[in-house]
A and B are shown apart, each in its own frame.
Chain A
Amino acid sequence: MRGPVKLEVWKMGFVNYLDALKLQEKLVSDRKLCRIPDTLLSLQHPPTYTLGKRRTDHNLLIPASELKSIGAELHYTQRGGDITFHGPHQAILYPIISLREIGLGARNYVEKLESTMIELSSLYGVKACAGQKGETGVWVGERKIGAIGVRISHGITSHGLAFNIDPDLKYFKHIVPCGITDKEVTSLRRETSTVLPTEEVIHEQLISCFARLFGYNTVVWKENPSLSSDHEEIE
């Protein structure tokens, strides 16, 4: 059994996708050098489509030039997974953690991310489960409620999970979500008859589920997290 393990949580509100990406790159480098503890970014993005390393842009169903007219951006990334959409009312967690220290491989890590969203769903009486083989993510029946796309570099994670609280699902019509053609996308709002609390509460519950499933016994909240990390070096 490992000793006390600390997780530092940054609650960031709305963050532009590229800004979040740059911050993650910096934090991954800091974590690799053990300058920071395991860190979790909790945030939302403005309407953004993203592609993974395989660049499956055939799964974007409208011309990239039209994206601006629907108020969305498109970004290519190094994460695993296919095309997806991020937007308001979707809770995103980007864990920047050392898998080697925690003793997890990619498969177990992703399973725990799935479990995080499954547990959160169950708080609202929604029976979600992990996908079948090859369909990583979290499903309520045939409808996808949570997506995962991860990058692991020298054992440090970046990117993470996106859980649909109540995003505008029409944005998903412009893509083949996660490259899976015949399945719908859903949200917590659609799947539960429970009255939802404020989103801030749901974000905190998601963070708690994550912390518990990953065995963190100390969770600290970073004061005033900003996009420029405290660990900037003078160049």
Chain B
Amino acid sequence: MALRMWASSTANALKISCASKPHLSFSRCFSTVLDGLKYAESHEWVKHEGSVATIGITDHAQDHLGEVVFVELPEPGGSVSKGKGFGAVESVKATSDVNSPISGEIVEVNSKLSEAPGMINSSPYEEGWMIKVKPSSSSELESLMSSKEYTEFCEEEDASH
């Protein structure tokens, strides 16, 4: 690890082009998955508390995206449908759609993300929440993955490549 960092900084100093940046390819094994949340295969999480469900993207997702520089969110009062896009994030010149794991009415959006989009990276499960929804179907919530299932899902996804 130290040798790799030395080599990289030496390469930079000598202005040698690095065709592939040395990334911590094993960092994906250390993505956080929180208990008590439900997860979608497209790497969004849902926290159901009473009549409101909070939605965001997972630590695994933010790690694969890179630094988020822009977040596009819908207006409160609109609706979301399971599996359909409700917004987008931009990182490394790529806009990625974010999909809702459940259907329902949007009751609140995290307006702080327009000033501080990086919260999605630094705090994906807390300050980086994206929208709050009144779910229209409890069966949709139940069909999502548990934290254990999502952890296994990520491991299988990463292992197959």
Asked whether any CB of chain A lies closer than 8 Å to the CB of B66, the reply is yes
Residue of A nearest to B95 (CB): A80
The reply on B54 being an interface residue by CB < 8 A is: no
The yes or no answer to A4 lying at the interface (CB within 8 A) is no
Which of A39-47, A123-131, A168-176, A227-235 lines the interface with chain B? A123-131
Least CB separation from A78: chain B residue: B95
Q: Are A129 and B97 in contact (CB-based, < 8 A)?
A: no
Bound Cα distance from A163 to B88, whole angstroms: 26
Interface 1/0 per residue, A150-180 and B, CB below 8 Å: 1111110000000000000000000000000
Measured CA separation A103–B92 after assembly (Å): 17
Considering only CB atoms, which chain A residue lies closest to B72 in the complex? A53
Q: Does A90 contact B (CB under 8 A)?
A: no
Which chain A residues lie closer than 8 Å to B42 at the CB level?
Answer: 154-155
| A106 close to B (CB within 8 Å) | yes
Residue of B nearest to A178 (CB): B93
B103 at the interface (CB under 8 A from A): no
Known: A115-B20, A130-B18. A152 touches B94 (CB 8 A): yes
B-side contacts of A129, CB under 8 Å = 15, 17-18
CB <8 Å contact, B95 and A137: no
B34: interface (CB < 8 Å): no
Which of B125-133, B138-146, B153-161 sits within the interface? B153-161
Known: A107-B64, A152-B97. A80 touches B17 (CB 8 A): no
CB < 8 Å neighbour of B70 from A54, A102, A122: A54
B20 touches A111 (CB 8 A): yes
Q: Contact between B70 and A106 (Cβ–Cβ < 8 Å)?
A: no
A-B residue pair count with CB separations less than 8 angstroms? 99
Whether A110 contacts B17 by the Cβ 8 Å rule is no
Asked whether any CB of chain B lies closer than 8 Å to the CB of A105, the reply is yes
B21 an interface residue at 8 Å Cβ cutoff? yes
From the candidates A2, A80, A130, A141, name the one contacting B90 in the complex (CB within 8 A).
A80
Whether, in the assembled complex, A38 has its beta carbon less than 8 Å from a beta carbon of chain B, the answer is no
Tell yes or no: B67 within 8 A of A by CB. Answer: yes
Cross-chain contact A133 with B67 (CB below 8 angstroms): yes
- How close is A160's CB to chain B, nearest CB, in angstroms? 10
Q: Which residues of B contact A137 (CB under 8 A)?
A: 93
Alpha-carbon gap, A141 to B19, bound state (A): 14
The chain A residues found within 8 Å of chain B, CB to CB, are 2, 52-54, 78-81, 100, 102-111, 115, 118-119, 122, 127-130, 133-134, 136-137, 141, 148-155
Cβ contacts A to B, 24 pairs, < 8 Å: A2-B160, A53-B72, A53-B88, A54-B90, A78-B95, A80-B92, A80-B93, A103-B160, A104-B161, A105-B65, A106-B64, A106-B94, A106-B96, A107-B91, A107-B92, A109-B94, A111-B21, A118-B17, A127-B16, A129-B15, A136-B92, A149-B94, A150-B95, A152-B96
